[in-house]
C-alpha cells in the first residue's frame, strides 16, 4: 500500500507531533508514505473557494497533480483538506469546461490534471485497507481499562455521495479502530454533533460557538465517563482540546485529554510520547503513562 501523504497546513505548523505519529505508525501497518513535494493549501473553504472557484480548483488540482505524477492515491487526516480535495476532483471530472480551464492554468506551471488519484481519509484507509485485526495484532501495548469517546469528522460524512465511506448517519469505523486498540468506546447523545471549530462560526462569534460546544460537552459528561476523546481531524483535535479551557471558565471544570487516532496508535506501538504526543492544552500525561506502562 503506497499513499501520498497530504499534511495540510495546520498539522505541520501547529501539531507536528501528529505528523510524527503518522510517519512512524503507518509504515508498521504496511502503509508506505510518499511525500507530495511542493503541495500547497488544499485550499481551505474560507480561502479561495470563497473567492474564486476556478482559482480554487486550480490549487486543488495542483496538489492532486503531484500525487498523479507519483502514481499514488492520497491519504489525509484533516477533515476539511479531505473534503476540499475530494469535492474539487468530483467537480473537475464532471465538468469538462472547468477541467480545460484548470489545465490551462496548471500548464503555466508545467502541470496537468487528469483526475486519477483518489483522496482517502485515514479512517477509511485504516478500517478498509488495513483492517481492525491487523491493528490489534501489531500493537505492543493496549488501551484496556480506558474509556474513550470518539469524534467523527463532519467533513468525512457529508456529502456522502461525493466523499462518504462510512454510514453518514451511523458511522462506526472510528469507534471500531479505537476498540481494536483495546479501549471501551462509549456512545452519547451528542456524539455526532460537529465540534464547531471549523470555518467562520468560532472566528466570528466565539462566545456563541462556545455555547454550542458546551451542549456537546455537557452531554458527554452526563452520559459517559471518558478518559479521553479520540479524533481524527486536525481541527477537531485543536478545537476540542483548546475549548475546554474556555468552557471551564463558567464554573464546572472540563479537562478530558484529546488525542488524534495516529497518536494513540503510535503510543500503543511503543513510540516515544515526547515525539508523537507532546503538544496539547489539556494535560495528557496520566493517560500516556497508563498506555506506556501497559503491556499488551
Partner 1 sequence: MIDLTKANHHLWKEIMEEDAGDIRRCFNCGTCVSGCPAAEAETPLMIRRLVRMVLLGLEEKLLEDGTPWMCVTCTACEEMCPMGVKPFEVGLAIRRWQTRKDETYIPLSTTEVFQTGHTQPVEKVGELRRSLGLPEIPPTIAKFTELLKKFQAMLRETEIVKNNDYMFKE
Degrees, nearest 5: CA angle 92-97-102: 60
- Using the rule CB under 8 A, is 62 a contact of partner 1? yes
Of 34 and 138, CB closest to partner 1 = 34
Of 215 and 225, CB closest to partner 1 = 215
Piece of the chain touching partner 1 by CB under 8 A; list 35-43, 141-149, 176-184, 288-296: 35-43
Q: Which three cell numbers stand for residue 176?
A: 471500531
For residue 149, the SS3 value is strand
- Using the rule CB under 8 A, is 20 a contact of partner 1? yes
Q: How many Å apart are CA 173 and CA 144, to the nearest integer? A: 19
Task: Single out the residue of 262, 190, 196, 172 nearest to residue 226, CA to CA.
Answer: 190
Contact residue for partner 1 among 16, 115, 131, 270 (CB under 8 A): 16
Q: How many Å apart are CA 279 and CA 27, to the nearest integer? A: 22
For residue 294, the SS3 value is coil
Q: How many Å apart are CA 171 and CA 274, to the nearest integer? A: 32
Contact residue for partner 1 among 47, 103, 132, 296 (CB under 8 A): 47
- Using the rule CB under 8 A, is 199 a contact of partner 1? yes
- Using the rule CB under 8 A, is 160 a contact of partner 1? yes
Pair type for strands 184-185 and 119-121: unpaired
- Using the rule CB under 8 A, is 167 a contact of partner 1? no
Binding residues (CB under 8 A) for partner 1: these are 7, 9-10, 12-14, 16-17, 19-20, 23, 35-41, 43-55, 58-59, 62, 80, 83, 91, 95, 105-106, 108-110, 154-155, 157-160, 168, 193-194, 196-202, 204-205, 208-209, 211-212, 274-276, 278
Amino acid at each position: 500500500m503506497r499513499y501520498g501523504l497530504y499534511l495540510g497546513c495546520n498539522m505541520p505548523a501547529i501539531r507536528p507531533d501528529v505528523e510524527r505519529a503518522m510517519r512512524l505508525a503507518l509504515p508498521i501497518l504496511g502503509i508506505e508514505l510518499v511525500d507530495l513535494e511542493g503541495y500547497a493549501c488544499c485550499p481551505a473553504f474560507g480561502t479561495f473557494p470563497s473567492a474564486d472557484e476556478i482559482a480554487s480548483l486550480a490549487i486543488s488540482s495542483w496538489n492532486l497533480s503531484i500525487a498523479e505524477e507519483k502514481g499514488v492515491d492520497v491519504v489525509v487526516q484533516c477533515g476539511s483538506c479531505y473534503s476540499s480535495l475530494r469535492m474539487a476532483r468530483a467537480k473537475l471530472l464532471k465538468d469538462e469546461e472547468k477541467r480545460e480551464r484548470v489545465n490551462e492554468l496548471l500548464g503555466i506551471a508545467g502541470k496537468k490534471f487528469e483526475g486519477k488519484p483518489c483522496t482517502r481519509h485515514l479512517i477509511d484507509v485504516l478500517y478498509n485497507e488495513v483492517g481492525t485485526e491487523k491493528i490489534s495484532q501489531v500493537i505492543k501495548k493496549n488501551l484496556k481499562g480506558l474509556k474513550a469517546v470518539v469524534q467523527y469528522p463532519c467533513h468525512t460524512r457529508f456529502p456522502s455521495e461525493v466523499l462518504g465511506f462510512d454510514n453518514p448517519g451511523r458511522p462506526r469505523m472510528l469507534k471500531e479502530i479505537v476498540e481494536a486498540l483495546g479501549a471501551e468506546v462509549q456512545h452519547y447523545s451528542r456524539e455526532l454533533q460537529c465540534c464547531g471549530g471549523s470555518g467562520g462560526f468560532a472566528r466570528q462569534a466565539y462566545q456563541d460557538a462556545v455555547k454550542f460546544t458546551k451542549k456537546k460537552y455537557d452531554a458527554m459528561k452526563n452520559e459517559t465517563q471518558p478518559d479521553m476523546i479520540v479524533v481524527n481531524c486536525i481541527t477537531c483535535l485543536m478545537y476540542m482540546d483548546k475549548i475546554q479551557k474556555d468552557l471551564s471558565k463558567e464554573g464546572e471544570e472540563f479537562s478530558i485529554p484529546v488525542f488524534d487516532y495516529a497518536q494513540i496508535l503510535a503510543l500503543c506501538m511503543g513510540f516515544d510520547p515526547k515525539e508523537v504526543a507532546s503538544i496539547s492544552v489539556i494535560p495528557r500525561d496520566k493517560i500516556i503513562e497508563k498506555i506506556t506502562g501497559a503491556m499488551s
